[in-house]
Structure 1
Amino acid sequence: MDTDAQLSERDRSPHPEGGEEQRSRSSRIPGRSGLAGLPRRAWRWLTGGGPLRRAGVLLACCLALVMLVSAYVVQPFVIPSASMENTLRPGDRVLVNKLAYRFGDGPRRGDVIVFDGLGSFVQEEPAENAVTKAVRKVASSVGLMQPAPTDYVKRVVGVGGDRVVCDHRGRLSVNGRVITEDYLFPGDTASRVPFTVVVPEGRLFVLGDHRSASRDSRDHLGEPGGGMVPVDRVIGRAEWIGWPLGRWTALDRPDAFDDVPEPRGHGGGARGAP
C-alpha cells in the first residue's frame, strides 16, 4: 500500500488555507448575522416612515412614561363620591404622592390618603372583566376614569396606639385631646353614633370629612379588620387638587392634631362610647 500517496491526496483541499476555520463563528451560524442587525432595523423602522407612524411612536412613548410615573411617583385620582366634601368634591382630580411614605415617617393624623380597602373596607375583591380591568387601569392612571372599586380616599384620624373617641355630644377626641375639625362639611358633627376605638399598631383609623355621607372606619368596626386600614395598604398621600383649574390648591395637613399627645398604651378593642 502506498501510504505516502494516500497522505498526499488527503492533504489536498479545495479551500484556501485559513478559510472556513478562520472565519468568525457568527458567519457560520445561519440567522446570527440577521439578529445582530435587528436593533438597527428596529430603530430605522421607529424613526422612519410617515408622520402617522412617528406620531404613533411618540404617543406610545409618552403613554409609557405617564404610566411609569403614575405607577411609582404621582397618580391622578378621580374623587368618586361626596364623602370628603367640602375638602374634595365629586369629579375632582387629586394628585397622589406615592413616595410620601416610602422613605420616611408613615401617615400622620390629618393626612388625606388614598388606600386599598381590601381586607378592611371590602372583604372580597369585586369581580371584574379582564379587559375592563385593563382599560380602567390605563385610563385611571391618567385621571380619565375612576380608580379600582376597592380604592378609597379618607382622612387619617388615628394612628397605631391612638384612642379615638366620639362622645354623645358629637365631639371627637384623640388620646384625650378634643379635636376641632374645621374641615368638616357644614352642619356635620364628628359622628352621630358615639364610639370608642383603640387603633392597633400598624393600622389607621380613617374618616370622611362629610361624616353624614361617608362610609368609613366607623361602619366596619364589627367586621374582620375592624375598619382599621393597614399602613401597607396606603397607596399615597393626596397633596394637590389638580382639576378643575378653578379648584387648584394644595391639601395641607390641618393643625387640629398638632397638640395630640402620644398614645400611652390602651387596651385594645372597639366599642360604643360610654
Structure 2
Amino acid sequence: MTEESVAADQPAAQRRRSTVSFLRDLLIIIVVALLVSFLVKTFLIRSFYIPSGSMENTLQIDDRIIVNELVPGMVDINRGDVVVFTDPGGWLDNPPAPAQPWLVQVWDGLLNAVGLSVSDSNDHLIKRVIGLPGDRVECCNALGQMSVNGVPLNEPYLLLPQGAQAVSAKSFDITVPKNSLWVMGDNRYNSKDSRYNGNTPGKGFVPIDNVVGRAFVISWPIDRWGWLSDYPQTFDGIPAAG
C-alpha cells in the first residue's frame, strides 16, 4: 500500500469514527432525557387533561394542567387547593375506552411513560378542597353561603346558574373524618362531588392517600395559560378543626 492510499483512507476512517461517536452521543442523550422525564413524572410533576365541565370556569373541558406530585407527600394540602385524585370507589362510571390500533397504543404508552401523554385522565377526578380532616362543613346559611368551622365562605371562583339563591342545591352538615377530604367542583350546580357520593364506600370523602397532587398551572391551550389559585383570602380566616 502506497503512502497516497493510506492518506486517502484516513479521512474515510475519521468520518466513520465521527459518525459512530455522534450516534453514540445521541443515544446517550435520548436515554438520559427519557430517564429524567420518567423521574420528573414519577416524583415531581404530571400532566392531565380536563374531561368535564365540573370545574368551570376555573378549568375548561380539554384544558391541560400540570400537577405537583409533591403534594401531599412532602407538602401539606390546604383548603382551596385544586387536587387530582383517583376514584375513591363509585364516583366514576366511565364506559370502556374504544380499542386503539396497536401502533397508537405503543406510541401513547411511550409518551405516557415520560409524562407527555395524559391518557389516564379519565381514571382520575379533579375538585377543589373545601374541608380538611376534622373540619365541619355546612351549607347553606340564610345568605346561601357555605361555612367551614362556623366561618361563612366568600367563593369568587364559583360558577352558579342565573338566579341561584345558594352556592349548593343540596344542603348538608358534615364533619370530615381523619385522613380524608371534602371536595367540591367550582361549577357547583354541575359537579358530582362529595355531596353526591354519600352512598359510595367512602361516603363522599376522599382519602388523602388517593390524592395524586395539586394542580398549579394550566399549560394548554396557550391562551388559557395561567396559575391556579387556592384563594387564600377565602380560607385564611378559618380556625383549625376542633
TM-score (norm 1): 0.68
For the residue of structure 2 that corresponds to 1:157, the secondary structure is: strand
Distance in structure 1 (CA, Å) of the matches to 2:124 and 2:168: 23
Structure 1: stretches of 5+ with no match in the other structure? 1-46, 265-274
Distance in structure 1 (CA, Å) of the matches to 2:65 and 2:108: 17
- Alignment partner, residue 117 of structure 1: 87
Structure 2: stretches of 5+ with no match in the other structure? 1-18
Match of 1:193 among 158, 170, 175: 170
Identity %: 36
Cα distance, 1:100 vs structure 2: 3.1
Structure 2 residue 158 is the aligned partner of structure 1 residue 184: yes
- Alignment partner, residue 158 of structure 1: 131
**Residue-by-residue CA offset, 1:88-144 (whole Å, 9 max, x unaligned):** 11121111111133224x31110011111133635x998778x89876565455354
For the residue of structure 1 that corresponds to 2:51, the secondary structure is: coil
For the residue of structure 2 that corresponds to 1:213, the secondary structure is: coil
Distance in structure 2 (CA, Å) of the matches to 1:118 and 1:148: 15
Moved over 3 A (4+): 53-61, 124-129, 131-146, 186-189
For the residue of structure 2 that corresponds to 1:75, the secondary structure is: strand
- Alignment partner, residue 66 of structure 2: 95
Question: Do the aligned partners of 1:95 and 1:238 also contact (CA within 8 Å) in 2?
Answer: yes
Cα distance, 1:147 vs structure 2: 2.2
Question: Do the aligned partners of 1:120 and 1:228 also contact (CA within 8 Å) in 2?
Answer: no
Structure 2 residue 223 is the aligned partner of structure 1 residue 246: yes
Cα distance, 1:230 vs structure 2: 0.6
Distance in structure 1 (CA, Å) of the matches to 2:130 and 2:90: 16
For the residue of structure 1 that corresponds to 2:212, the secondary structure is: strand
**Residue-by-residue CA offset, 1:162-215 (whole Å, 9 max, x unaligned):** 111112764211111110110001536421011111110100000010112211
Distance in structure 2 (CA, Å) of the matches to 1:257 and 1:137: 40
Cα distance, 1:56 vs structure 2: 6.5
Given the superposition, is the C-alpha separation of residues 149 and 248 from structure 1 closer, same or farther in structure 2, using an over 3 Å criterion?
closer
Structure 2 residue 39 is the aligned partner of structure 1 residue 68: yes
Structure 2 residue 1 is the aligned partner of structure 1 residue 48: no
Q: Larger relative CO (CA 8 A, sep 6+): 1 or 2?
A: 2
- Alignment partner, residue 4 of structure 2: none
Distance in structure 2 (CA, Å) of the matches to 1:156 and 1:137: 31
Q: Give runs of aligned pairs for residues 4-153 of structure 1, distance below 5 A.
A: 48=20, 58-104=29-75, 106-119=76-89, 121-122=91-92, 138-140=110-112, 142-153=115-126
- Alignment partner, residue 231 of structure 1: 208
CA RMSD of aligned residues (A): 3.2
Q: Number of matched residues?
A: 217
Distance in structure 1 (CA, Å) of the matches to 2:106 and 2:77: 29
Question: Do the aligned partners of 2:72 and 2:208 also contact (CA within 8 Å) in 1?
Answer: no
